[in-house]
Chain A
């Protein structure tokens, strides 16, 4: 167990270092950081002072080590646009995106898994066909179109939900949350559902496929032969076995939820990281871009670690396999 965790941890650190190297090169070599920061009017002395301050006169490996050192402390430098510290900008935006992503993930699981189980168990029921058709349409409509149509329908025609932004916040010691007021919920529900829809259909299809596979396996057949109740077979054995891939996918999907929050946030003007990065990219604000990369990678790595640990809890068979072979 310990060896496994250490191995995964080492791998995670390696991944972070590689992503860090990419971000670092982005910052160091794309454009002239000094020019980007001071503009045309700056004097030569100002430029030189800034070079010194940014450590641009050191050899590259030293610069990288310094950069990693600062990044670990959460210091990603100054944004090119207004000279505000990137860490502050991110801290301002992070809660909004994390809440959005978390709610989406919960929605996707809470709706997707039962739908998947149902369609898996009742392959030929008409409701299953409806679910499947809807899910196929779900993955064929671009997120932005869903967002626009939802705004049009719920926001403008029905007037039930607000159309943009994030309000009704309660400040919990620096973390502003939407979840403690009705108003907060009214603002988050539509963007979260828009973001969840794609994952939801994905999870449903995945659970269905897994259920179909598992139900065909011998141990289920034996269980049936032994006369176990189908309820206990379906949920006690079959569903439990489908959870492994669902967990894997959900882990992988957090990354794409984060990325897709860029679109959702643009459509709903949700003041999170997505809006920050899209502006950052428009302005070629390299410090924002590179720190966003690192942050996404960090999420990915942490979540994957958690997923790996969850495997242990869910599927005992994997304990041997996963420690034995590095590949997967």
Chain B
């Protein structure tokens, strides 16, 4: 759930990952595919993840109500129970919240935000981290030391803390109005900032191994640009570990976003993510209006669980020793 958790585990597991394996090739060779088809749990996780993705991407068409259109909210629809409950209404299958928002629809739109933030952060972290790792591992020397020391220091501060500090600084530098505009971006940047280290460390390790192999040495001798060598020869070999870290980071990113929204520094209430929905619903938990918290909560947990399962499986599948 926090960044420094994973680097340790992942740094270690990546050491046992076959660095020279091309994931895609292996996949089509059937190796990975075979392990996938043999694990019903993984398949279930995959289907679940896929379903959530579809629900999120196509929310504007699939959701019964467009909760992103604030003008359409009617206060008079508030506090409806799920459809099987006392005050159920077929128009709102999972009930409504305190503002008359359809819970099912707001979960779908919330998923959209959670996934958007998660994905954007992880991709940003992966690109930046991989680049740093490549440079650090390939160039070595002082550059390597500097990058790795920065990474060390960065590890001192878990994602939540970095994001919180980031938020504080943004709010003090920008006006309220500007900070609001910038909110989503700052959230993504903050989460990405806390995750790049994992990628950088792993890629650096792989790069250092590759760098000393004869074909790279040879390529260098015949005058191919170092950047080209790295991109052409080293990058493909680190795809596997990056994919594993990426998947597990996605789970962490989604949780981080939810936590920040719960703490009230995430996305605005009028356009809630899953974490915000849980925070709002939390106030109504004791009074029996449980559906406002429980449904988004379960969605979040199932989503993260599924992504974690996929990540775990991917790690094991790419690590022949464990099979």
**Do these two chains really belong together in a complex?**
yes
The answer to whether A142 and B308 have CB atoms under 8 Å apart is: no
Residues of A within 8 A of B8 (CB): 206, 245, 248-249, 252
The answer to whether B9 and A281 have CB atoms under 8 Å apart is: no
The answer to whether B278 and A262 have CB atoms under 8 Å apart is: no
B1 in the interface (beta carbon within 8 A): yes
Residues of B within 8 A of A140 (CB): 251, 255, 301, 304-305, 308
Residues of A within 8 A of B293 (CB): 148
Q: Digit string of B293-323 for contact with A (CB within 8 Å is 1, else 0)?
A: 1000100110011001100100000000110
A278 vs B297: C-alpha distance when bound (angstroms): 23
Q: A198-B1, A252-B7, A263-B259 are in contact. Are A297 and B161 (CB under 8 A)?
A: no
Stretch at the interface among A12-20, A60-68, A69-77, A112-120: A12-20
Residues of A within 8 A of B278 (CB): 144-145
The answer to whether A26 and B169 have CB atoms under 8 Å apart is: yes
Q: Which of B156, B167, B259 contacts A142 (CB 8 A)?
A: B259
The answer to whether B157 and A259 have CB atoms under 8 Å apart is: yes
A152 in the interface (beta carbon within 8 A): yes
The answer to whether A293 and B172 have CB atoms under 8 Å apart is: no
The answer to whether A152 and B285 have CB atoms under 8 Å apart is: yes
The answer to whether B161 and A262 have CB atoms under 8 Å apart is: yes
Interface size on B, residues (CB 8 A): 55
Q: A245-B8, A252-B155, A281-B168 are in contact. Are A259 and B160 (CB under 8 A)?
A: yes
Q: Which of A31, A245, A284, A327 contacts B148 (CB 8 A)?
A: A327
B28 in the interface (beta carbon within 8 A): no
**CB closest chain-B residue, reference A216:** B321
**CB closest chain-B residue, reference A249:** B8
The answer to whether A142 and B263 have CB atoms under 8 Å apart is: no
Residues of A within 8 A of B228 (CB): none
Shortest Cβ distance from residue A130 to the other chain B in the assembled complex, whole angstroms = 14
The answer to whether A18 and B5 have CB atoms under 8 Å apart is: no
The bracket for how many chain A residues form the interface is 35 or more
Q: A142-B1, A278-B263 are in contact. Are A284 and B172 (CB under 8 A)?
A: yes
Q: A213-B16, A293-B165 are in contact. Are A143 and B308 (CB under 8 A)?
A: no
Residues of A within 8 A of B300 (CB): 142, 145
Residues of B within 8 A of A212 (CB): 322
A136 in the interface (beta carbon within 8 A): yes
Q: A142-B259, A143-B1, A284-B172 are in contact. Are A263 and B160 (CB under 8 A)?
A: yes
**CB closest chain-B residue, reference A290:** B165
Residue among A148, A152, A212 with max Cβ neighbours from chain B (10 Å) = A148
The answer to whether A297 and B153 have CB atoms under 8 Å apart is: yes
The answer to whether A278 and B285 have CB atoms under 8 Å apart is: no
B258 in the interface (beta carbon within 8 A): yes
Cβ < 8 Å to B, chain A residues 14-45:
14-15, 18-19, 26, 30-31
Residues of B within 8 A of A289 (CB): 165, 168
The answer to whether B172 and A31 have CB atoms under 8 Å apart is: yes
The answer to whether A30 and B158 have CB atoms under 8 Å apart is: no
A170 in the interface (beta carbon within 8 A): no
Residues of B within 8 A of A26 (CB): 169
Interface majority SS (helix, strand, loop, mixed), chain A? helix
Residues of A within 8 A of B297 (CB): 145
The answer to whether B2 and A260 have CB atoms under 8 Å apart is: yes
Residues of A within 8 A of B7 (CB): 252
A166 in the interface (beta carbon within 8 A): no
B282 in the interface (beta carbon within 8 A): yes
Q: Digit string of B266-299 for contact with A (CB within 8 Å is 1, else 0)?
A: 0000000001001000100110000001000100
The answer to whether A260 and B305 have CB atoms under 8 Å apart is: no
The answer to whether A144 and B259 have CB atoms under 8 Å apart is: yes
Q: Digit string of B127-171 for contact with A (CB within 8 Å is 1, else 0)?
A: 000000000000000001100110011011111110011011101
A162 vs B278: C-alpha distance when bound (angstroms): 23
Q: Digit string of A303-328 for contact with B (CB within 8 Å is 1, else 0)?
A: 00000000000000000000000110
B13 in the interface (beta carbon within 8 A): yes
Residues of A within 8 A of B218 (CB): none
A216 vs B322: C-alpha distance when bound (angstroms): 10
With A136-B308, A140-B251, A260-B158 given, name 11 new contacts (CB 8 A).
A140-B308, A142-B258, A142-B275, A206-B8, A255-B156, A259-B2, A260-B160, A293-B157, A296-B156, A297-B156, A327-B144
Cross-chain pairs A/B with CB under 8 angstroms, 11 sampled: A144-B263, A205-B9, A256-B4, A256-B5, A259-B2, A259-B158, A262-B161, A263-B262, A266-B263, A296-B156, A297-B153
**9 pairs of A and B residues whose beta carbons are closest in the complex:** A259-B158, A140-B305, A140-B304, A281-B168, A284-B172, A300-B156, A256-B158, A256-B2, A259-B161
